[in-house]
Structure 1
Amino acid sequence: MSALWREPAPLVLASKSAIRMAILKDAGLPVQARPAELDERAVEAQLSGDGANPANVAGALAVAKAIDVSSRLAGRLVVGADQTLSLDGERFTKPVSRDAGRSQLLRLSGRTHALFSGAAIVRDGHVLWSGVAEVRLATRPLGEDFLDAYLEAAGEGALTSVGGYQFEGIGAQLFERVEGDYFAILGLPLLPVLAALRSLGALAS
C-alpha cells in the first residue's frame, strides 16, 4: 500500500479501462478494478431523452458506474469515469467496427471537437465528489490513405475510445492542437480526482 494512501483498502476503479488503471497506479494510488454491471447505452438513451447535453451525460455515467460498483463493496471508495465526444452538439460513442471508426474520423477531420471526461467518487452509494473536464481537440485534415494506414496500425485499439483514437499512442498523429488536460483526454481528469481524494482524507496532503 502506498505511503500516501490513507484508506485501509485500495481505491476501486469502476472500469475495465487499462489506461485509467495505469493513470491511477502511476500516480501512486493502490487501485483495484471492478467494472460496473451497467447497460451504458440504455442509460445514455434515457439521459439523451431527458435532454442531457454531452457534458452531463459523461458526468451522469461516471456517477452511475461508481454507484453500481459501490453497492456491492461496502465501505470502499469507488471512482467512476466516462467520456463523451461532441461535434457541433452531436454526441459520438465508441465505434463498433473499423468502418464506423473510419467514418467518425472522417467527420472529425479538419474540425475541432469537444471531449468531456467525467469522474465521480462514491462510498456506500453516496456521491462524495463529481466533476467533468472539457478538452478541445483540433483534428488535422486526414487523407484517405493516411486513415487506412492509421486504422491498420491502431488495430482494435481504435475501437476502445470515443472518436476512434488513442491519444496516448499513435492517435496523437491525428491532431494539430489540443486545449485542456492531457489526463482528461485519456479518460480520467486525474488532478481534480487527486484533489478530491485529498480533501476527503484518503490521500496525504
Structure 2
Amino acid sequence: MKPLILASSSPRRKELLQQVHFDFSIQTSEVDEQLDPDWLPEDAVKHLSKKKAEAVFSTNREAVVLGADTIVVVDGVIVGKPSNHAAAKEMLQTLSGRNHQVLSGVTILSSENMISFYNETNVSMYELSPKEIDRYLATGEPFDKAGSYGIQGIGATLVHSIQGDYYSVMGLPLAQTTRALSAFSIYPTY
C-alpha cells in the first residue's frame, strides 16, 4: 500500500482524517491561490485542490497525495479569507441573514490515477447584529477562514442551518473523500 500524504496545513483537515483513522503524513503545498475571475466556483475549487496535490506529488511520486481547498460563494462571487479586521467584518455583514454556498474541492493523485471532485453545501446564517459581529471578531477565530467564520468553532452560533455535508463546510467532505480514497486502496485503519 502506498503512503497517503495530505497536501494541506489545515488543522481541520488533519483532524477529520484522524477522526476516521487514516494513516497519513502532512506535507504543505505552497501554491499561488490566485484565481481567474471568469472561472465558475466549482472549477476554481477543483483547480486549487489539484494544484496543491500536484505540488506535493512532484516530490513524492510513490505516494497517494490528497489536496483540498474550500471556498465560500455569495451571489456567485467567491469570497476568500479576510485580509484584516475590516474585511472580516464586511464579510460577516454580507453573510448576515443570507444564504451562501461552501464548496470544498478534493484531488487525489497517484502515479496510476487521479480523482478530482467538489462538494457544495448551502449555508444559511442568522441575522447578525453589529454587537454579535464585533463579539465574534474579538475571538480571533474568523481571520484564517474563508467567509470569516468557522462552523466547527464559535462560528457555529452564527449558522441557522445547512443543506449538505457539514464536513465539507469544515474543509473536507469526509464520506465522499473516504470513498474516493478506496479507489487508491487507501482505507481507514479501524
The answer to whether the superposition gives a TM-score over 0.5 is: yes
| Structure 1 length-normalised TM | 0.88
Asked if 2 retains the 8 angstrom alpha-carbon contact of 1:21 and 1:31, the reply is no
Counterpart CA distance in 1 for 2:2 and 2:64 is 10
Cα-to-partner distance string for 1:54-76 (whole Å, 9 max, x where unaligned): 11101110011101110011210
Report the equivalent of 1:187.
171
1:27 to 20, 23, 27: 20
Asked if 2 retains the 8 angstrom alpha-carbon contact of 1:55 and 1:84, the reply is no
3-state SS, counterpart of residue 178 of structure 2? helix
Matches within 5 A, 1:95-114: 95-114=82-101
- Is 1:75 aligned to 2:68, yes or no? no
Counterpart CA distance in 1 for 2:41 and 2:113 is 20
| Structure 2 length-normalised TM | 0.94
Asked if 2 retains the 8 angstrom alpha-carbon contact of 1:82 and 1:119, the reply is yes
Matches within 5 A, 1:113-152: 113-124=100-111, 128-152=114-138
What is the identity percentage for the equivalent residue pairs of Structure 1 and Structure 2?
Answer: 30
Pairwise CA RMSD of aligned residues?
1.5
Counterpart CA distance in 2 for 1:127 and 1:179 is 31
3-state SS, counterpart of residue 107 of structure 1? helix
Counterpart CA distance in 1 for 2:173 and 2:84 is 27
User: Counterpart of 2:130 in structure 1: which amino acid?
Assistant: E
Asked if 1 retains the 8 angstrom alpha-carbon contact of 2:21 and 2:188, the reply is no
User: Counterpart of 1:167 in structure 2: which amino acid?
Assistant: I
Report the equivalent of 1:174.
158
- Is 1:165 aligned to 2:149, yes or no? yes
Question: Could you tell me how far 1:120 is from its partner in structure 2?
Answer: 0.7
Structure 1 unmatched ranges of 5 or more:
1-6
Counterpart CA distance in 2 for 1:121 and 1:67 is 9
1:15–1:115: structure 2 CA closer, same or farther, 3 Å change rule?
A: same
User: Counterpart of 2:107 in structure 1: which amino acid?
Assistant: A
Report the equivalent of 2:79.
92
Counterpart CA distance in 2 for 1:58 and 1:190 is 16
Cα-to-partner distance string for 1:121-144 (whole Å, 9 max, x where unaligned): 0124x6521110000001110000
Asked if 2 retains the 8 angstrom alpha-carbon contact of 1:138 and 1:175, the reply is yes
Structure 2 unmatched ranges of 5 or more:
none
Question: Could you tell me how far 1:200 is from its partner in structure 2?
Answer: 2.4
User: Counterpart of 1:187 in structure 2: which amino acid?
Assistant: G
- Is 1:202 aligned to 2:163, yes or no? no
Asked if 1 retains the 8 angstrom alpha-carbon contact of 2:20 and 2:188, the reply is no
* Number of positions where the alignment pairs a residue of Structure 1 with one of Structure 2: 189
Asked if 2 retains the 8 angstrom alpha-carbon contact of 1:120 and 1:127, the reply is no
Counterpart CA distance in 2 for 1:90 and 1:198 is 34
1:116–1:127: structure 2 CA closer, same or farther, 3 Å change rule?
A: farther
